Amino acid sequence: MGGCTNKIIGSRLHAYEIGLLGPEEQEEFEIHLLECPYCQERVREFSRAAELIRNDTKTQRAIGVLAGEKPSAGKPRRHLLRIAVVAAAMVVLLLIRPWRLEFSPSEEAFAEENRLIITRFDNVAVPGDPDRTGEIIANLLITDLSQSQFIRVVTTQRLNDIMALLGDDAETVSDRETAMQAARRAGARWLLSGSIIQAEPRLVLTTQISEVSTGDIIASYKLTAEPGDDIFSLTDRLTVAVKGRLSLPLEAMDEFDPPIAEVTTHSPEAYRLYLIGVGHYYDYDRTEAAASFRKALEYDSTFAMAYYYLSNLEDSALIEKAVAYSKNASQRERYYILAREASVKGRTDDAIAILEELVKGYPDEKNAFYLLGVYQYNRGQYAVAVDYLDRAIAIDSLYAPVYNYLAYAYRGLGDIKGALAAVDRYIAAAPDEANPRDTRGEILAASGDLAGAIEAYRQAVEIKPDFSDYGAMLKLGRLYIFNGEYDNGRDCFQQVAIDGNRTARSYARLFMAVIPLYQGHFKEAAGLLTDGIAADRLEQATAGRFGTRSFKHFIRSYIYAEWGDYKAAIEDMREAIRVHNLVFSPKRPAFRCNLAQILAESGDLAGAEKIRQTLFDEYRAGAEIVASAYWYVDGCIKLKTGENKQAVASLEKSVLAMPDFDFQIKLAESYVAAGYTEKAIALYENTLGDYNPAFRVYRSISAVKAFYHLGLAYEQAGRTIDAIEQYERFLTIWADADPGIKEIADARKRLARLKTLM
């Protein structure tokens, strides 16, 4: 027996049987009964329960109790009528079928066995299908049938992935043999293919359902749009027809199945633009994807998934809109929306739990496994991240973004070889993209391979000069500085200063000042920073995502401290904090710990202690973000007061909470002060072997002096040759530095003495 021919009207069956339909609805339903054998049979099955509800006094009383109605001899009150209708429906449902709120294991197994793949409908009526009607119908049908507990429908994205593995695209899957090959690769039991054989005056569709194992056609169906039908109601009818022709239990026809427009959109144009946006999104064209989603929202401002994607592309706050309209999304999509909301609000554990629930019901969701890997990576759970990312790759070995995070996860595990192997696979999956080379550059820079990292970034900017808003170009320029190629670095920054957006230009001005700073030309660097601050003011570039003015004050503060002008240093660092807080919450620890360090080193221990106490109070109140800053300040104060071993304990906690370059260098200094020479050497070697951290650039004075301090540690450990190498390296970088730098004079004396011992 087939399914209901019009599930919107058919959904009124229970209300019809217990006499709750109005005259017009009743007439419409009775006309439907004459045309629908399925509903005729359901009426017969229902008659006993309906008769019970009509005539059995106890049942009528039960309905009244459920409705909250008190027994009364008078006429029922009108405000209770709607409640009674709901209560009657509850009794009916409890009488005629089991009530389920979620998948049971047997249902999951049944759905997994009944895997269906749906190919794009071939638009024979309109060659070329400029309106994407065939694609829209297929996607709507996939979404509608995916609501069933009894069928596992292969997603459009999974089909596209399979076609890519087969060397084709989704448009060629209409070929029967190719479609069968894709169905077998997907592990499908059934293949549904269809055609649009008439577009005007009404849509006419034909479908075929084939058994994949044999290739036999087991069902075919022709569907003609009725007056008033649109593409959504036509899909609703098609969904019922398909379910009725598959070997599904009777309960499959009874399960709740809302009209497809209620879980997508009522606008065909919005849906078309949405599909275009999704295509751009998975082609990594963020600009075009965002434009399509915005246009879709012009047609339907309640389109939940359009907001979801835009929250990933433009403004994370838009996830609130997606949540607000999530009733207009499928169950699978709601999982993604809620996970994204949890992530945006910092509830990573909740996001992970939601996605884990998602993959139980939808095991082909590679994007869910990818997101699980990303969340675990961000938590520092690198091994767990690798496992999730591998599961995404098992679904789609060409899913390029997975290899990006897989490379970083291996790097987090200290497996550089594994990280580079993942990058190689990333490049193979996306040979024309800049990001794989950018990732390679970052990993090589982290392992100390400056030459290899520079070459990787060169390749990235050759592919796309403005990649990541000129981020790759800026990173290439920074590596040139570390490699002593100052003119090449300057060329990179000048190009960004000309071609980049406001934020990129602000960064370019910052790094132009870093070039002389790294060479020990502090006066020149201070002048460039002052000019950069003025330019930022003109462009209203402040901090964070709006520019780097706060970082310019931060760096200039340390130049003043180097000169011994602590008053100016403190004023500049306070300004860095003020400007930073124009964008971010004042509760963020940025720069406050550095201000405390400068206060302590200037001898103002009371001022440093005040900041330490403030950070401690915030930490105790639950602001874990300030933990590293608190321990850093505590360590700096103890170093100043000569409590070296206690300083080590505090700074170790700081680095454990956040392995920032600043904190690591200060910890290494404390190791030397406390006499832990080998620990100091190991930490200096590890920190100076990583050229990635941005703060290595911002703290260029400390970064260069670190070579000198490592030389001291080597000398203390009796490693003369290593000490000579570090002193020479330090003196080469600051070969023509400003006069009066005491470390330069000391390094020269030590180097001369050590060479006489050779």
Mean pLDDT of the 675-680 span: 97
The whole-angstrom separation of Cα 331 and Cα 328 is 10
* Confidence band of 598 (pLDDT split at 50, 70, 90): very high
Question: Using H for helix, E for strand and C for coil, what is the string for 45-61?
Answer: HHHHHHHHHHHCHHHHH
Query: Same structural domain for residues 296 and 350?
Result: no
Instruction: Work out the end-to-end distance of the chain between its first and last CA atoms, rounded to an integer number of angstroms.
Output: 97
Nearest partner of 607 among 593, 596, 594, judged by Cα = 596
Please check whether residue 439 is in contact with residue 426, taking contact to mean a CB–CB distance below 8 angstroms: yes
- Kindly report the number of other CB atoms within 10 A of residue 181's CB atom: 17
Q: How confident is the model at residue 175 (pLDDT cuts 50, 70, 90)?
A: confident
Q: Which alpha helices (DSSP H) does 300-347 contain, by range?
A: 304-313, 319-324, 331-344
Among 106-115, 178-187, 358-367, the least confident range: 106-115
Does 436 lie in the same domain as 347? no
Q: How far apart are CA 172 and CA 44, in angstroms?
A: 46
Cα–Cα distance list, 450 to 426, 484, 515, 664 (Å) = 21, 11, 17, 21
| 694 found inside a domain | yes
Q: How many domains, the chain? A: 6
Residues 141 and 174 in one domain: yes
What's the gap between Cα 176 and its chain centre? 36
What is the mean pLDDT of the segment spanning 514-522?
Answer: 98
Same domain assignment for residues 322 and 350: no
pLDDT value at residue 695: 86
Residue 644 lies in a domain: no
* Whether residue 683 is found in the same domain as residue 758: yes
Q: What is the mean pLDDT of residues 329-344?
A: 93
**Partners of residue 217 on adjacent β-strands:** 210
526, part of any domain: no
Residue 278 is assigned to a structural domain of this protein: yes
* In a shared domain, residues 64 and 34: yes
Which of 328, 360, 378 delimits the end of a domain? 328
Checking if the pLDDT of 293 tops 80, the result is yes
Same domain, 199 and 295: no
Sign of CA dihedral 493, 494, 500, 503: positive
pLDDT surpassing 50 at residue 69: no
- Calculate the CA 351 to chain-centre distance: 11
* Residue where one domain finishes, among candidates 96, 126, 144: 96
264 vs 74, residue with greater confidence? 264
If pLDDT is split at 50, 70 and 90, which confidence band does 169 have?
low
Contact 715, 723 (CB under 8 A): yes
- CATH number of the domain at 456, please: 1.25.40.10
The average pLDDT across 706-717 equals 97
Q: Report residue 221 CA to chain centroid gap.
A: 41
Residue 519 inside a domain? The answer is no
Q: Are residues 311 and 357 in the same domain?
A: no
Asked if residue 122 and residue 153 are part of one domain, the reply reads yes
Residues 560/569, Cβ–Cβ less than 8 Å: yes
Task: Answer whether 293's CB lies under 8 Å from 277's CB.
Answer: yes
CA atoms of 633 and 639, how far apart (whole Å): 10
Residue with more model confidence, 157 or 209:
209
For the ranges 259-263, 304-308, 338-342, the lowest mean pLDDT is seen at 259-263
186 and 109 fall within a common domain: yes
Q: What is the DSSP letter of 753?
A: H
Residue 624 banded pLDDT, cuts 50, 70, 90: confident
- Do 462 and 371 reside in the same domain of the chain? no
β pairing state of 152-153 and 115-118 = parallel
In the listed set 61, 96, 131, which residue is the last one of a domain according to the structure?
96
In a domain, 20, yes or no: yes
pLDDT at 672 over 50: yes
Task: Please indicate, yes or no, whether the overall pTM of this predicted structure exceeds 0.95.
Answer: no
Query: What does each C-alpha distance from 149 to 252, 254, 256 come to in angstroms?
Result: 7, 11, 10
Spell out the alpha helix ranges (H) of 430-565.
435-446, 450-463, 467-482, 486-499, 502-518, 522-539, 549-562
Q: Single out the residue of 537, 480, 434, 437 nearest to residue 493, CA to CA.
A: 480
From CA 545, how far away is CA 673, in angstroms rounded? 38
196 phi, psi to nearest 5 deg = -100, 105
Take residue 35 and report the two structure tokens written for it.
């045309």
Domain membership flag for residue 59: yes
The verdict on residue 561 lying in a domain is no
Q: What percent of the chain has pLDDT over 70?
A: 83
- 49 — pLDDT class (breaks 50, 70, 90): very low
DSSP 8-state assignment for residue 524: H
DSSP 195: E
Which amino acid would we find at residue 311? S
Instruction: Indicate if 363 and 437 belong to the same structural domain.
Output: no
Give the Cα-Cα-Cα angle 542, 545, 547 (nearest 5 degrees).
Answer: 40
- Structural domain including 279 reads 265-328
